Structure 1
Amino acid sequence: MLRKISLASLGLTVGGILTIIGFIAYATGNATLNLAGLFYGVPILLGGLALKSAELKPVPYSQPVSPEIVTLREQQATPTQNQIRKDITRYRYGQEAHLDESLERLGLSPLDEERPVLETLQETSIDGAYALILEFNSPFISWDMWQEKQEKIEKFFGPGIRAQITQPDEKRIDLALITVPQPQS
């Protein structure tokens, strides 16, 4: 629940209300309320503005997640898949793009302007295994480059994950991180 709330919007709202109360109190001669409203309201409002300028919105789902997929996720998802899903579906601050550091380490982001942009995500089942599909707009990174990095992607996102890369259209790349069942010991 709290992951879906923008701290920037909260700061702007609370700071704006307190600042307005401070100005009204000043106009009516209420020194105590004036001081509290302006003393707290203006800094919170400025903090909200600063956060808003550095805000990265959550990535939306391209399809609703069914209860069966939620159950499959709870049974099979790796800690890495869960961490990625949680990170990209919440507000982030101070980052240029979702997964920007990961893409850079994988060699898929030579320049900020050429970085693939994560637009949507999807949770599904592929051959009975849980899959987290990251849907990128990738006009500057070729299909061949993505294919060359497939093995590195699998190693980077950890054990228990198989990467499957598809190209639904010319500028879009879908990266499926599929759970590989681990042998029982």
Structure 2
Amino acid sequence: MSTKALPLRIASSTLYIHHHNHDRRFGLLNHHRCFLFTHPPSPPPLLAGKRHRIKLTFVSTAADSTQPSSAPASADKAIVTDDEFSLAKVSFGVVGLGLGISLLSYGFGAYFNILPGSEWSAIMLTYGFPLAIIGMALKYAELKPVPCLTYSDAQMLRETCATPILKQVRNDVIRFRYGDEQHLDEALKRIFQFGLGRGIPRRNAPILQMIREEVTEDGKYSLVLVFEAKALQLSDFEQRQAKFASFFGPGITAEVGKGSENNLYEVRLISNTSPNASPA
């Protein structure tokens, strides 16, 4: 607790302000009291020798930081992170290109006696050049994997409820591919009939952006394909809903809908296998 007196002169009058500061830790409470004493420059004769005192008290109370805040919104389902190492997650283009360039660089350095190992320079140059060419070719034809969002409850149902085709689709799109124009290229070609009379031009083909594993309200495993299609409408997907079900079937039901953003559309492949079904 501290007390300070600050003089202020306003229009030939002196104000004495006594500042009382009660400061409690953590910002629980702050009180400010100010006492103003005015001294007129020329008091009337009858009132000479008297002092007028005006007491002003200002009390301000800060918010109590210990008060419980409003209850947070219910937490979403737990998301499973895929940290397991797999060769499918390795880019062979990057590996081949890096290894080939390393051999070529060291081979040239050893050949000109800048680096040791001149007797091995010919071998390093012989193998480094084709490795670099192959790496560049793989890197050029490389198709990167799409993100996969997996919820914990869906992961537990994957092995028992997901059909073999749904598992294959998931494994194919979350790994590096080489030579394909896009993920699920063969499936999209048959479903949307690129270049045919009732189909769409290939340049308007939807592009797979991500997949999502989730559980439906009735407890079934669902694999959601999220496509970006700037030149298509929701009706283009709805007209081909049965084709999605037949191509990725049997044992699934297909549902289409609008995505969370513009030009995004979702195709939900729901397994008809119930988690409560008894094994045959």
1:16 deviates by: 1.2
1:33 matched to 2:120? The reply is yes
Correspondent of 1:174 among 262, 266, 270 = 266
Quote the residue 1:21 is aligned against.
106
Q: Which amino acid is the alignment partner of residue 114 of structure 1?
A: N
1:58 matched to 2:145? The reply is yes
Correspondent of 2:235 among 138, 141, 144 = 144
Secondary structure of the residue aligned to 1:84 is helix
CA deviation map 1:26-70 (0-9, x unaligned): 111855311111100010001000111110000012x3x233321
TM-score norm. by structure 2 comes to: 0.62
Aligned-residue CA RMSD in angstroms?
1.7
**Greater relative contact order (CA < 8 Å, ≥ 6 in sequence):** 1
1:80 matched to 2:172? The reply is no
Bigger CA radius of gyration: 2
Gaps spanning 5+ residues in structure 1: where? none
Query: Are the aligned partners of 2:99 and 2:132 in contact in 1 as well (CA < 8 Å)?
Result: yes
1:157 deviates by: 0.7
Q: 1:108 to 1:144 in 2, by over 3 A?
A: farther
CA deviation map 1:94-142 (0-9, x unaligned): 1111111111101264333211010111110012111111100012222
1:134 matched to 2:225? The reply is yes
**More displaced, 76-85 or 136-145?**
136-145
TM-score norm. by structure 1 comes to: 0.92
Higher helix share: 1
- Output the CA distance in 1 between the equivalents of 2:140 and 2:99: 17
Gaps spanning 5+ residues in structure 2: where? 1-85, 195-199
1:163 deviates by: 0.6
CA deviation map 1:60-94 (0-9, x unaligned): 12x3x233321110111101100100000000001
